[in-house]
Amino acid sequence: MRKLIAVCGSDSDDPNLSDFALRAAEKVGYLLARKDAVLVCGGGGGVMEAACRGAKKAGGLTIGILPRDKEYANPYVDIGLTSYLGRARNYILVRSCEVVIGIAGRWGTLNEIALSLNVGKPTVVIRGTGGWADILSNGEVQNLLRNFSTRPFIANSAEEAVEIAFKVIRQR
Amino acid sequence: MRKLIAVCGSDSDDPNLSDFALRAAEKVGYLLARKDAVLVCGGGGGVMEAACRGAKKAGGLTIGILPRDKEYANPYVDIGLTSYLGRARNYILVRSCEVVIGIAGRWGTLNEIALSLNVGKPTVVIRGTGGWADILSNGEVQNLLRNFSTRPFIANSAEEAVEIAFKVIRQR
Amino acid sequence: MRKLIAVCGSDSDDPNLSDFALRAAEKVGYLLARKDAVLVCGGGGGVMEAACRGAKKAGGLTIGILPRDKEYANPYVDIGLTSYLGRARNYILVRSCEVVIGIAGRWGTLNEIALSLNVGKPTVVIRGTGGWADILSNGEVQNLLRNFSTRPFIANSAEEAVEIAFKVIRQR
Amino acid sequence: MRKLIAVCGSDSDDPNLSDFALRAAEKVGYLLARKDAVLVCGGGGGVMEAACRGAKKAGGLTIGILPRDKEYANPYVDIGLTSYLGRARNYILVRSCEVVIGIAGRWGTLNEIALSLNVGKPTVVIRGTGGWADILSNGEVQNLLRNFSTRPFIANSAEEAVEIAFKVIRQR
Q: Which of C65, C66, C82, C85 would you mutate first to test chain A, the one with the most A CBs within 10 A?
A: C85
Q: Which of B8, B11, B92, B107 would you mutate first to test chain C, the one with the most C CBs within 10 A?
A: B107
CA distance D85 to chain B (A): 5
Number of domains chain A is built from? 1
pTM exceeds 0.90: yes
Closest C-alpha to D6, from D88, D82, D100: D100
Summarize pLDDT for C3-53 with one digit per residue, the tens: 999 999 999 999 999 999 999 999 999 999 999 999 999 999 999 999 999
For residue C70, what are the domain limits? 3-170
Average confidence score pLDDT of chain D: 97
Summarize pLDDT for B154-165 with one digit per residue, the tens: 999 999 999 999
Of B15, B115, B138, the CB nearest to C111: B115
Query: How far apart, in whole angstroms, are the C-alpha atoms of residue C46 and residue B146?
Result: 21
Residues above pLDDT 70, as percent of chain A: 100
Summarize pLDDT for B12-63 with one digit per residue, the tens: 999 999 999 999 999 999 999 999 999 999 999 999 999 999 999 999 999 9
Looking at beta carbons, which residues of chain D come within 8 Å of B84? 86, 88
Residue D66 identity: L
CA distance C165 to chain A (A): 32
- Cα C23 from chain centroid? 13
Q: Do A86 and C88 touch (CB under 8 A)?
A: no
Looking at beta carbons, which residues of chain D come within 8 Å of A144? 134-135, 138, 141
Contact (Cβ atoms closer than 8 angstroms) between residue D54 and residue D61: no
- What pLDDT is recorded for position D172? 80
User: Looking at the predicted structure, is the pLDDT value of residue A172 above 90?
Assistant: no
Looking at beta carbons, which residues of chain D come within 8 Å of B85? 85-86, 88
- What pLDDT is recorded for position C106? 98
Query: How far apart, in whole angstroms, are the C-alpha atoms of residue D102 and residue D131?
Result: 10
C-side interface with B, Cβ within 8 Å?
15-16, 87-88, 90-91, 106-108, 110-111, 114-115, 117-119, 134-135, 138, 140-141, 144-145, 147-148, 150
Which helix (DSSP H) or strand (DSSP E) does residue C153 occupy?
strand C153-155
In this prediction, residues A121-140 reach a mean pLDDT of 98
CA distance C87 to chain A (A): 9
- What pLDDT is recorded for position B16? 95
Q: Do A106 and D115 touch (CB under 8 A)?
A: no
Residue D10 identity: S
Which helix (DSSP H) or strand (DSSP E) does residue D167 occupy?
helix D158-171
- What pLDDT is recorded for position B109? 98
Would you give the DSSP letter of residue B78?
S
Average confidence score pLDDT of chain C: 97
Helices (H) and strands (E) in chain C, counts: 7, 7
Instruction: Find the CATH number of the domain harbouring B46.
Output: 3.40.50.450
Show the low-confidence residues of chain D (pLDDT under 50): none
- What pLDDT is recorded for position D43? 98
CA distance A46 to chain C (A): 24
Looking at beta carbons, which residues of chain D come within 8 Å of C2? 78-79
Closest C-alpha to A64, from B96, D50, D71: B96
* C-beta pairs of B134-142 under 8 Å, 24+ apart in sequence: B134/B104, B134/C144, B135/C141, B135/C144, B135/C145, B136/B102, B138/C140, B138/C141, B138/C144, B140/C138, B140/C140, B140/C141, B141/C135, B141/C138, B141/C140, B141/C141, B141/C144
CA distance C25 to chain D (A): 21
Of D91, D110, D135, the CB nearest to A91: D91
Looking at beta carbons, which residues of chain B come within 8 Å of A82? 95-96
Contact (Cβ atoms closer than 8 angstroms) between residue D21 and residue D106: no
Strand stretches in chain D, DSSP E: 4-9, 38-41, 62-66, 79-82, 99-103, 123-126, 153-155
The ipTM, to two decimals, is 0.97
Query: How far apart, in whole angstroms, are the C-alpha atoms of residue B109 and residue C116?
Result: 12
User: Looking at the predicted structure, is the pLDDT value of residue C61 above 90?
Assistant: yes
User: Looking at the predicted structure, is the pLDDT value of residue C172 above 90?
Assistant: no
Would you give the DSSP letter of residue D87?
G
Of B88, B107, B150, the CB nearest to C117: B107
Summarize pLDDT for A89-117 with one digit per residue, the tens: 999 999 999 999 999 999 999 999 999 99
Contact (Cβ atoms closer than 8 angstroms) between residue C78 and residue D2: yes
Query: How far apart, in whole angstroms, are the C-alpha atoms of residue B132 and residue C144?
Result: 9
Residue A34, judged by CB atoms within 10 A of its CB (0-12, 13-18, 19+), counts as middle
- What pLDDT is recorded for position B153? 98
In this prediction, residues A11-15 reach a mean pLDDT of 96
A-side interface with B, Cβ within 8 Å?
1-2, 4, 38, 63, 70, 73, 77-85, 91-92, 95-96
Q: Do B82 and A70 touch (CB under 8 A)?
A: no
Taking residue D82's Cβ as centre, other Cβ atoms within 10 Å add up to 24
CB pairs B-C closer than 8 Å: 73
- What pLDDT is recorded for position C28? 98
Residues 6+ apart with CB under 8 A from B27: B54, B157, B158, B159
- What pLDDT is recorded for position A1? 96
Looking at beta carbons, which residues of chain C come within 8 Å of D4? 79, 81
Average confidence score pLDDT of chain A: 97
User: Looking at the predicted structure, is the pLDDT value of residue B172 above 90?
Assistant: no
Stronger pLDDT, A172 or B82, i.e. the higher one: B82
Q: Do A81 and B70 touch (CB under 8 A)?
A: no
Residues 6+ apart with CB under 8 A from C172: C98
- What pLDDT is recorded for position A127? 98
Query: How far apart, in whole angstroms, are the C-alpha atoms of residue D153 and residue A111?
Result: 18
Q: Do D1 and C82 touch (CB under 8 A)?
A: no
- What pLDDT is recorded for position A146? 95
Of A87, A110, A118, the CB nearest to D108: A118
